[in-house]
Amino acid sequence: MTTVFLADDEKLVRRSLEKTLLRAGYDVLLASDCISGGEVFAENADKVDIAILDLNMPDFDGMPKPGAGLDLLARLKEQKPSLPVIILTAYDEVTKAKDAVSGGASAFFVKGREQGLVELIQKILAEA
Amino acid sequence: MNETDPRLMPRVLYIEDDENARFLVRRLLQGKYLVLETDDPLDGLSLAEDTQPNLVLIDENMPHMKGSEVATRLRKTLPEARLVIVSAESSEGARERALVAGAVGFISKPINVDTFVEQVDSFLDGKREELEEAEQHMQAYQEELVERFEGNVRQLTQTIERNRYLLAQNNNMIAMLERRQMLLEAAARVGQAVTSILDIDDLLMQTVDIICSEFEFYYSGIFLLSDDKHWAELRAGYGDAGKEMMRADFRLPVDRNSMIGLSILEKKGQLTADVEAQESRFKNPYLKDTRSEIALPLMVKSQVLGALTVQSDQLSAFAEEDVTALQSMADQVAIAINNARLLQELENANNELVRTKTFEAIATATGEAIHWVGNKAAPIPGSTQRLREDFSNLLAMLSLLRKREQHGAELEALDEAVQDLLEEANERGLKLDELASALLSYPPKRLMALLDIESTLEDLQIIEHSAEIILGIKEDMIGPARQRKPASFSLAEMLTTLVNNMGLPKDAVETQWPGDLPHAFGDARQIEQVFNNLVKNAWEAMEGQTDAKIWIDARIADEPDHLLVTIKDNGPGIPAGIQEKIWVSFFTTKGDRGGTGLGLSACMQIVNQNNGKIWLQSESGRGATFFVLLPMANNQLSSRRKQL
């Protein structure tokens, strides 16, 4: 069973993505910000096959911060360097998303077409 | 020598303009005679009457009057006095003239000091020189007198005429000075009035009004040069004629066929004293009474802005002084025009800046709003997809249940799942039992209407479609905001490819640019999107129009180091009222025929981000022209400069 770790502060987006991932046959672990994300991942680091992190969400101090997802990305990579990570961009901060890719993320994905995200996950896992 | 009472001595008057002669005679006669002197013949006449001398010595050659004439005169007023002419004149007849004039003797100059006193004595004693052929000499003397008289009359007449002429000249001079004073005062008034007016049309109108009312001229008008400098366009005209000409958009070509044209070409005032005599003058049908006119260039530094015309219904109404005064006024008007223009330019630049900043702010704000809405809408397609799956699954379950006999034991698991499903639905308050009993009571037709698959799928589609639009808008916005990759690119290639790929009818698009058009600098993909939008908009605006045509033109811009692309159509144009709104997001004239109203807003954002400018010129019914100004590529700049 493949386990996907999803961190997004937007409740409906998170729930909708979760349902899509569940239907696609994945196990899903959820977090709503960097703090909870750090904790959930620390407990389940071994299980998680791929992480999907929102770019903008509350940071490790609990304050909303653009690009906080990159902080979480760094934390995850510390614990599991081989982990594939997809960065979700709500805004089209493609520059930042590209920074994310150079910072260790496998890809970035502009929110909106959930089926596209499933295909992207399948592609990354197949390559891994 | 005996002391004698001077009152008893004989009185001798000597009329002589030579001081040395008077001195000599005084010395010779002093003591023996009471000597009276004067250097002026007219003075001598009155002095003689006052002093009643016994003898008068008269010099022949004096200014104004000859000695013999004085003698003739004294002969009448002092019949008792002895008159003697003293003269250096040695010519024939001098002595005879003296004697016929009334003198008793003639003494030659230089005065002989040895004999002079003796001579005087003898004349006083009654000596009278005899004259032969007196009649003949008298006649000669009279003729001479008449001739002298005529000469004097002539001289006097000339003097009077000369005086009259001088008087007239003085009067002219005074009038001229007064007029000049008036003109200068009026010029100063115009100067004061105009420099405080900053609206050009107001300024020009007031100037021609002041000129005509202050100077009482028939007409005055002000022309300004057109942008291309080929025309002098009337911007203010005095009176009814002026109004008519303004209504008719009166203008003159800048050539040698009009005084206005000539004054602009030569940067010099033109004066015509009699317009009938001037062949080359433009005959203006609005100003039939003009008899003389001047045209003065309006100049600031050496630059000509236009020209001032002043016309009179009098011949030769303008003196050189008028030209000077009016030119000084024209100079002030020119400065005022220039000031007003500078202010206008400043205002335009400021408005342009405010406009650009406003649109940028609006674009940014709407952009953020769109992202927010777009993000909120992000789950909709996923949810719809799942509902469609759920609905299909329910229908599949129904079909299985209908084939209960066929499947038998295989359906046990399904039964259980349906059982769980129904229980959960009841728990969640869906009241399925109530709905089921209601369904039983409905006629078949009603049942069909309740469970309309087409309608359900359609609803799902509506939700999906609406979400697509919202997400589509968001993706449109990503276009302008995406990371730019500015580089040098060929506008000519881009426009050619674009036109070829748009699939417009042949001949609908006409392109034009120089073969050596420099490359532009910017994000080629974004800029291509701008031109694509503009051409598409133009084409859609002309829908149903059989003569629809688009002109695309690219050239080096007047702005240094920029290229200018114009996209012009012959469509219905864009009404002035919405020309500003078209740049605002979500504004669309296409109604529900598609279009999110983001095209031009995005175009402006893209062009601004690429350090260019975009603007529009349009009039209702006369097509629209979009202008896109883009920076020239750097390498092109340097190579072009080298060429220069």
Q: In the predicted model, is pLDDT for residue B120 greater than 80?
A: yes
pLDDT band of residue B404 (cuts 50, 70, 90) is confident
- Of A6-10, B362-366, B514-518, B592-596, give the lowest mean pLDDT range: B592-596
| B129-166 CB burial, b ≥16 within 10 A, e <16 | eebeeeeebbeebeebbeeeeeeeeeeeeeeeeeeeee
B461 vs B188, residue with greater confidence? B461
Closest partner CB to B375 (pick from A20, A111, A115): A111
pLDDT score, position B641: 47
Residue A112 to residue B386, Cβ atoms within 8 A: no
Q: Which of helix, strand or coil describes residue B221?
A: strand
Q: Cα(B612)–Cα(B69) distance, rounded to whole angstroms? A: 105
Q: Which residues of A44-73 are buried (b: 16+ CB within 10 A; e: fewer)?
A: eeeebbbbbbbbbbbbeeeeebebbbbbbb
Q: Read off the pLDDT band of B644 (50, 70, 90).
A: very low
Q: Given this model, what pLDDT does residue B596 score?
A: 55
Out of B474, B477, B481, closest to residue A112 by CB: B474
Say if residue B634's pLDDT is above 90.
no
- Which candidate, B489, B508, B499, places its Cα nearest to that of B569? B508
Output the average pLDDT for chain B. Answer: 84
Distance from CA of A79 to the nearest CA of B (A): 31
The string of pLDDT tens digits covering residues B176-217 is: 778 777 777 777 777 776 666 667 888 888 888 888 887 778
Is residue B135 over pLDDT 80? yes
* Per-residue confidence (pLDDT) for residue B234, from 0 to 100: 94
**pLDDT-above-70 percentage for chain B:** 92
Q: In chain B, what are the domain boundaries?
A: 6-132, 181-346, 379-478, 483-643
Interchain pair A19, B386: CB under 8 A = yes
What CATH number did the domain enclosing A13 receive? 3.40.50.2300
| CB pairs A-B closer than 8 Å | 55
> What is the residue range of A30's domain?
3-127
Q: What is the pLDDT of residue A92?
A: 57
Question: What does the pLDDT read at residue B44?
Answer: 92
Q: What is the pTM of this model?
A: 0.45
Substitution target from B376, B385, B463, B609 for chain A, most A beta carbons within 10 A: B385
What does the pLDDT look like over B225-235, one tens digit per residue? 988 889 999 99
Q: What single-letter amino acid sits at B414? A: L
Summarised one tens digit per residue, pLDDT across range A94-107 is: 667 777 787 788 88
pLDDT beyond 50 at B108? yes
Mean pLDDT of B54-58: 94
In the block, tokens 């004293």 appear at B273
Instruction: In whole angstroms, give the CA distance from residue B248 to residue B66.
Output: 80
Q: How far apart are CA B260 and CA B274, in angstroms?
A: 16
Q: What chain B residue is nearest to A116 in terms of C-alpha separation? A: B382
Produce one character per residue of B100-120: b if its CB has 16 or more CB atoms within 10 Å, e if not.
Answer: bbbbbbbbebebeeeebeebb
Residue B638, pLDDT above cutoff 50? no
Q: pLDDT tens for residues B240-268?
A: 999 999 999 999 999 988 889 999 999 98
Cα(B302)–Cα(B266) distance, integer angstroms: 11
Query: Pick from B102, B103, B96: which is nearest to B134 by CA?
Result: B96
Residue found under tokens 């023996």 = B32
User: Interface pTM (ipTM) of the complex?
Assistant: 0.71
Superfamily holding B181-346: GAF domain (3.30.450.40)
Q: Is B381 within 8 Å of A98 when comparing Cβ atoms?
A: no
Whether residue B622 has pLDDT greater than 90: no
* CA–CA gap between residue B483 and residue A96 (Å, rounded): 10
Q: How many residues does chain A have?
A: 128
Closest C-alpha to B307, from B344, B355, B340, B269: B269
Minimum mean pLDDT among B163-172, B347-356, B594-603: which range?
A: B594-603
The model's pLDDT over B82-104, given as tens digits with 9 standing for 90+, comes to 999 999 887 778 888 889 888 99
Instruction: Identify which of B371, B377, B379 has the shortest CB distance to residue A91.
Output: B371
User: Tell me: the pLDDT tens digits for B532-580?
Assistant: 889 988 888 888 888 889 999 999 998 889 999 999 999 888 888 777 7
Q: How many domains does chain A have?
A: 1
Higher pLDDT pick, B324 / B587? B324
Flag if A20 and B483 touch (Cβ within 8 Å): no
> How many angstroms separate the CA of residue B472 from the nearest CA in chain A?
10
- CB-based contact B318:B217 (threshold 8 Å): no
**CB burial class (10 A; 0-12, 13-18, 19+) of residue B21?**
buried
Please tell me which of the candidates B376, B382, B482 has its beta carbon nearest to residue A20. B382
Could you tell me which CATH number the domain at B6-132 has?
Answer: 3.40.50.2300
Q: Do A94 and B385 touch (CB under 8 A)?
A: no
A112·B371 Cβ contact <8 A: no
CATH number of the structural domain B483-643: 3.30.565.10
Looking at residues B372-389, what average pLDDT do you find? 85
Query: Residue A1 pLDDT more than 50?
Result: yes
- The per-residue b/e assignment along B582-608, b for 16 or more CB within 10 angstroms, e otherwise, is bbbbebbbeeeeebbbbbbbbbbbbbb
Task: Give me the pLDDT at residue B510, please.
Answer: 92
Q: What is the mean pLDDT of residues B600-622?
A: 85
